[in-house]
């Protein structure tokens, strides 16, 4: 499948997971493109409207893997701005993952995923799975493996 890995990352955590995802999916035979969401001002304390300078395109994709960091128990505002501006997903399968600081998913990851799911579904995306990487947990490597395995099996189930 033609899979687009779409990621927003400020300090590199979510990006590094995206790179592992990219190699996992490519090794399994998927064609993977990599696109990052960027904004003019990425200061997490900035207020006011977000102006995106890179808006990943969904054109030609069979599925999307979308990753972002948790911000205040919620979807990162730049990911939210992207989903509000993105074109209609038209039923495109989407696997979602987040990275967050805390060691347990219920301390932010799950609520951010729920919010992101609603934003994707509002654009007619079909959420096929979700994953959380708890960055400060000793289980972080296992979390990353689970996200990669989850994305791969969700995509393979579509074949």
Ligand X SMILES: Cc1cc2nc3c(=O)[nH]c(=O)nc-3n(C[C@H](O)[C@H](O)[C@H](O)COP(=O)(O)O)c2cc1C
Report the interface residues with ligand X, using CB under 6 A. Answer: 9-15, 44, 69-73, 99-102, 107-108, 135
Nearer to ligand X, 24 or 143 (CB): 143
Nearer to ligand X, 13 or 92 (CB): 13
DSSP string, 141-155: HHHHHHHHHHHHHHH
CB atoms within 10 A of CB 52: 17
Q: How far is the CB of 20 from ligand X (least distance, A)?
A: 13
Q: How far is the CB of 39 from ligand X (least distance, A)?
A: 12
CB atoms within 10 A of CB 106: 10
Asked if residue 91 lies in contact with residue 124, where contact means CB atoms within 8 angstroms, the answer is yes
CB atoms within 10 A of CB 125: 24
Q: How far is the CB of 124 from ligand X (least distance, A)?
A: 26
Nearer to ligand X, 126 or 137 (CB): 137
Nearer to ligand X, 25 or 98 (CB): 98
Q: How far is the CB of 21 from ligand X (least distance, A)?
A: 13
Q: How far is the CB of 60 from ligand X (least distance, A)?
A: 26
| CA neighbor of 125 nearest in space, from 156, 159, 157, 82 | 82
Nearer to ligand X, 14 or 130 (CB): 14
CB atoms within 10 A of CB 42: 16
């Amino acid at each position: 499948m033609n899979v687009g890995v779409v990621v927003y990352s400020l300090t590199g955590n979510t990006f590094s997971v995206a790179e592992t995802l990219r190699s996992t999916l490519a090794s399994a035979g998927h064609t993977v493109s990599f696109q990052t969401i960027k904004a003019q001002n990425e200061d997490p304390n900035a207020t006011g409207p977000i102006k995106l300078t890179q808006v990943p395109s969904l054109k030609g994709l069979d599925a999307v893997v979308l990753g972002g960091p948790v911000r205040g128990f919620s979807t990162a505002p730049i990911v939210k701005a992207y989903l509000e501006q993105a074109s209609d997903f038209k039923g495109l399968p989407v696997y979602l993952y987040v990275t967050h600081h805390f060691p347990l998913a219920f301390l932010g990851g799950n609520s951010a995923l729920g919010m992101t799911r609603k934003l994707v579904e509002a654009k007619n995306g079909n959420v096929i799975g979700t994953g959380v990487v708890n960055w400060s947990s000793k289980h972080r490597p296992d979390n990353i493996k689970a996200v990669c395995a989850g994305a791969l099996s969700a995509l393979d189930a579509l074949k």
